[in-house]
A and B are shown apart, each in its own frame.
Chain A
Amino acid sequence: MEGKLVQYLDGRAKPAERRAVEEHLAGCSACRNRAEDFRALWGALDDLPVISPSPAFDASLRVRIAAEPVRRSLWGWLPSPRLAFAVTALVAMSVWMASMPRITINDPAMTGVAGEADFGLIRDLPVLENYEVLSTFDALSELRLRRPLRFPEK
């Protein structure tokens, strides 16, 4: 009876076990009183507002977690979110850059413009070479004045 009463009272006994306990309780006042007391006790235990798990619970929980089979789905093989985001951003940037129009010197119009610019540079090269001379050239200082300058009197 000792091993069956708790299971009977919490409703987890199988029908056959339940019938056996009920038959026993019908003829045993001591067990019947004990069963009533257990019900009363459980009601009192239910009145506890909060009961914190003991340290044994934490340890047992770790045991249960460790005993859990490892489930690896398709998602489990994916890399971390950060790495996935970085790879996606890199691919997107590569696609975007590949889709940009390219400036090539094979373009005839661009080739013509570039040719003219090069020709102008060559044509103006002597001027650029003499830039220093020209920039310091003071022609006015060498001019001979025909008559002296007169400043208005105050």
Chain B
Amino acid sequence: MEVPDRTPSVEQQLVARDRSKLILRAIHALPEKQRAAVLFHKYQELDYDEIARILECSESALKSLLFRAYETLRVELAPLLNSVGVSSDSR
């Protein structure tokens, strides 16, 4: 009985690495406050009131900040998103 090898090939690893680099570059290119908001929202999964308190802004201002940040990332990473066709219901 043969077990299929699920480890990604070298080519797949290189593509994933380039992808990660592009995304990281786009995130780091964001203005400081937008970048912090994205990191807290997407990766730290903090609540809006917590992020707003940390960034010293109102919740409505934070939501606009996040919208602008994701809009910038959407534009910057459009080629990547279109080529891969990523779609998920992740938060």
Asked if A and B are interacting partners, one says yes
| A54 pairs with B39, CB closer than 8 A | yes
| A42 pairs with B64, CB closer than 8 A | no
- The docked-state distance in angstroms from the alpha carbon of A4 to that of B81 is 23
What per-residue 1/0 map shows which CB atoms of A121-140 lie under 8 Å from chain B?
Answer: 00000000000000000000
| A53 pairs with B89, CB closer than 8 A | no
| B23 pairs with A3, CB closer than 8 A | no
Given contacts A3-B67, A6-B67, contact A44 B54 (CB under 8 A): no
Interface residues of A in 9-40 (CB under 8 A from B): 9-12, 34, 36-40
Count of chain B residues near A, Cβ 8 A: 41
Nearest CB of B to A55, in Å? 10
**Chain A interface residue count: which class?**
20 to 34
B9 on the A face (CB < 8 A): no
Interface residues of B in 37-75 (CB under 8 A from A): 39-44, 48, 50, 53-55, 60, 63-64, 66-67, 70-71, 73-74
Q: Which partner residue on chain B sits nearest A4 by CB separation? A: B63
Given contacts A38-B70, A49-B20, A51-B43, contact A44 B80 (CB under 8 A): yes
The stretch among A56-64, A75-83, A92-100, A103-111 that forms the contact with chain B is: A56-64
| B39 pairs with A43, CB closer than 8 A | no
| B48 pairs with A40, CB closer than 8 A | no
B1 on the A face (CB < 8 A): no
| A41 pairs with B39, CB closer than 8 A | no
Nearest CB of A to B82, in Å? 9
Q: Which residues of B contact A46 (CB under 8 A)?
A: 88, 90
25 contacts between A and B (CB under 8 A): A3-B60, A3-B67, A5-B67, A6-B41, A6-B67, A6-B70, A10-B91, A34-B74, A37-B81, A40-B81, A40-B85, A40-B88, A42-B90, A43-B86, A43-B88, A45-B42, A47-B20, A51-B39, A51-B43, A53-B44, A54-B35, A54-B39, A56-B32, A63-B54, A64-B50
| Chain B interface residues (CB < 8 Å from chain A) | 16, 19-20, 23-24, 27, 32, 35-36, 39-44, 48, 50, 53-55, 60, 63-64, 66-67, 70-71, 73-74, 77-78, 80-81, 84-91
| Chain A interface residues (CB < 8 Å from chain B) | 2-7, 9-12, 34, 36-49, 51, 53-54, 56-57, 60, 63-64, 67
